[in-house]
Structure 1
């Protein structure tokens, strides 16, 4: 049973909150690269209850600064891109991407004030279509050399969406292999050849069996949870008959991401990033092991649900997530349409802005959630104590030791199910131009 104090410990993300102190030790997605394209590459960012301004200067350099001007607190998100930086419209103070004050033009010509002013600035990097920022103390950790970060740009696609709830319950939906048989149940199976860009709509690897059929007809998976150097590996086994077993392997990358199968050819790496205690964004990188990603098709599919500029869902609590009684009878288990993002959104937002975990009763299929919470609490306690190990606080040399992580959804001979993930992952990599080249160098 989780106490109210333990729930606060895990969920609250402000600068002085225990979980907030931990999460600030990691790179956080703050925008899609697409969001800084166009005439004015400036965007307000709210991350873990703090406000920033993200921008690309006239020379193409990225910067992220505190949003309030250090002069009199005006909003730098309305700043002008000129003079080699971002200029506050209030009195013309100018700051570069490092936070250096370049000019205080309203001051007397002889003034030395500019040399004494510095705006807080934060490291930012681009990775596979996402801009990551580090707002913690000291040096940031290196990026592990996972597939989503090392695949060529042609083979990745990035997107995001807003959830109106706490980050932890958003993450926990991905640590729950059992829910897909219910929450994402479709009563009819579509043509799997038309499944590009749609999760849970294709065929399981090494078979012609639609994933929707597997989930619908075999709803009591055996779940295994294994600690690994980046977090947790979850294996869900569904015995189809005496000779065949469906194997689905997903991964929790500490502290806020999971890596899951999208299809036989593609994986999803997804982060759950707190805007504040009661809202979060999911950021995803879709990685293809076969041909280049059709970015336009993937984007168009997702823009059917998500509205710009804030990537908010057209189906939400204000319109009952598009719920239809007739659809719930005949088409989907939820009655909320064919997009599984809506299903997930309803499930986690319906728990409340911050789930009250003192009222929950966990079952055996929640073993992944239990294991992750224990890992999270231990890391928070070690952060507060200043002693003990914190997962994935790695340097560049250590980052090169990481790969994958393997994430597979397929049907195996039952006798080979224990090694199916490793074998299927190797086969997929050997057939991939970019991944096979990497095999030869590791």
Structure 2
């Protein structure tokens, strides 16, 4: 357990807070590109405790869209700019027609007398944006924005990535911590029956594990005491969960915590998920996920339909939530699933995190050995908060010279030799990368560890 003071330090992210200052050292997901692809050209955004509006501001030299992100209340009389009229080069308030560009400059006050200089004295707070991987990102920090690291989801072509998001009613930290807890999957996501892995496209923990025909559902159900190894890395943490099948075979699952609030996990032999747990404010968060394929282009229509069936409205609220008991069915709990809350593991995770309360009271928890990833992350988070508070640069902040220093990172889910699993998982990851139809970077530490291995096409 930790003190209330420490819990507040790690969870509060609004303007002026220590953790909020750390979060503003990084690009933050603000919206899906899809949200501004239809008729609507402006959407409300609440991010790190600030109310903003994101709008299409124009096009760049390549014909791609550019975006503006400014404070949501009009500085004239406080009306909501999320309902403003989007025009080339800016957004105009529907109340009196005041117009603001992407930099927050007031460029027109049409109700004022001709020749009025009122515009010159008004500026709306604004933040930089960048579209990458199907997400519009916001830079809310001070000074020059950092470069994006060369994560697989950013290196892949648009055809091989798909982005989505969902809103949870809880603090960002408990959402992140469920993603770095390898033990929970054997219980929270336990299915009592296995379905055909051929029907698993777009579903996590439903495909067959690499190196065997065993469904992941069977592995998690039957081998529920993983040995968990934690490694500190330049991007955060690498987590390796080992489930020994027998003396000769061990199931190996390699996942990553990508600082500050991301995870990268294997979804299937073909696809990985890079997911961020983005603070909306202290009591709400979004998970933003980019699904990256190393084989065929992503079936975006199928992936989108699967997820829209579970979410509703412009805020991507889950249809199953605490107001309808997450669809809990006691008969299903007895016969089909461990939770009785359906077969969508996002619902399981949502229930676990929201049931802790909007901000988990960590003064009452009792951590065990299976929580070593959570313990390591909290130490890392406190250290980076300290560094930023003392004017130092935290990890995962890059300039053009260092942006390629973090690549990948590597993930794997498969059954390999009980002796020699350390090399096996790297070989599987390298083979997938080198056989991909797009130029997938091989992380330096993985390339070094497999330099002597010949990878057959």
Which range, TM-score by smaller chain? over 0.9
**In 2, distance between residues paired with 1:171 and 1:134?**
21
Q: 3-state DSSP class of the match of 1:282?
A: strand
**In 2, distance between residues paired with 1:440 and 1:269?**
16
Q: 3-state DSSP class of the match of 1:186?
A: coil
**Paired residue for 1:2?**
2
**Paired residue for 2:418?**
414
**In 2, distance between residues paired with 1:83 and 1:214?**
54
After TM superposition, list the pairs within 5 Å mapping 1:246-265 onto structure 2.
246-265=251-270
Q: 3-state DSSP class of the match of 1:178?
A: helix
Task: Give me the CA root mean square deviation.
Answer: 1.5
After TM superposition, list the pairs within 5 Å mapping 1:112-261 onto structure 2.
112-261=117-266
**Paired residue for 1:86?**
91
Q: 3-state DSSP class of the match of 2:154?
A: helix
**In 2, distance between residues paired with 1:54 and 1:234?**
36
**Paired residue for 1:376?**
381
Q: 3-state DSSP class of the match of 2:265?
A: strand
Deviations 1:364-409 (A, max 9, x none): 010000000001011112222224x411111122112221101111
**In 1, distance between residues paired with 2:437 and 2:31?**
29
Deviation of the 1:61 alpha carbon: 2.3
Gaps of 5+ in 2: 60-64, 448-457
Moved more, 53-62 or 233-242: 53-62
**In 2, distance between residues paired with 1:338 and 1:279?**
24
**In 1, distance between residues paired with 2:309 and 2:83?**
29
**In 1, distance between residues paired with 2:46 and 2:442?**
39
**In 1, distance between residues paired with 2:40 and 2:312?**
20
Q: 3-state DSSP class of the match of 2:290?
A: strand
After TM superposition, list the pairs within 5 Å mapping 1:286-297 onto structure 2.
286-297=291-302
Q: 3-state DSSP class of the match of 1:179?
A: helix
**Paired residue for 1:55?**
55
Q: Does 1:399 align with 2:421?
A: no
**In 2, distance between residues paired with 1:38 and 1:190?**
37
Moved more, 39-48 or 78-87: 78-87
TM-score in terms of structure 2 length: 0.94
**In 1, distance between residues paired with 2:427 and 2:442?**
14
**In 2, distance between residues paired with 1:121 and 1:404?**
32
Deviation of the 1:114 alpha carbon: 1.6
Q: 3-state DSSP class of the match of 2:252?
A: strand
Deviations 1:159-179 (A, max 9, x none): 000111000000000010000
Q: Is the 8 A contact 2:133 2:161 kept in 1?
A: yes
**Paired residue for 1:37?**
37
Deviations 1:146-194 (A, max 9, x none): 1000100000000000111000000000010000000000111110111
Q: Is the 8 A contact 1:141 1:392 kept in 2?
A: no
Q: Does 1:305 align with 2:310?
A: yes
Q: 3-state DSSP class of the match of 1:61?
A: strand
Q: Is the 8 A contact 1:27 1:132 kept in 2?
A: yes
**Paired residue for 2:455?**
none
Deviation of the 1:142 alpha carbon: 1.1
Deviation of the 1:117 alpha carbon: 2.1
Deviation of the 1:40 alpha carbon: 2.5
Gaps of 5+ in 1: none
**In 1, distance between residues paired with 2:115 and 2:133?**
46
Q: Is the 8 A contact 2:256 2:263 kept in 1?
A: yes
Q: Is the 8 A contact 2:408 2:442 kept in 1?
A: no
Q: Is the 8 A contact 1:289 1:435 kept in 2?
A: no
Deviation of the 1:421 alpha carbon: 2.2
Q: Is the 8 A contact 2:263 2:274 kept in 1?
A: yes
Deviation of the 1:296 alpha carbon: 0.5
**In 2, distance between residues paired with 1:323 and 1:65?**
41
**Paired residue for 2:451?**
none
Flag the 1:277–1:440 CA change in 2: closer, same or farther, 3 A.
closer
Moved more, 62-71 or 189-198: 62-71
Deviations 1:185-221 (A, max 9, x none): 0111110111100000000012111111111111111
**In 1, distance between residues paired with 2:168 and 2:411?**
24
Q: Is the 8 A contact 1:221 1:238 kept in 2?
A: yes
Q: Is the 8 A contact 2:131 2:137 kept in 1?
A: yes
**In 1, distance between residues paired with 2:389 and 2:405?**
28
**In 2, distance between residues paired with 1:230 and 1:3?**
27
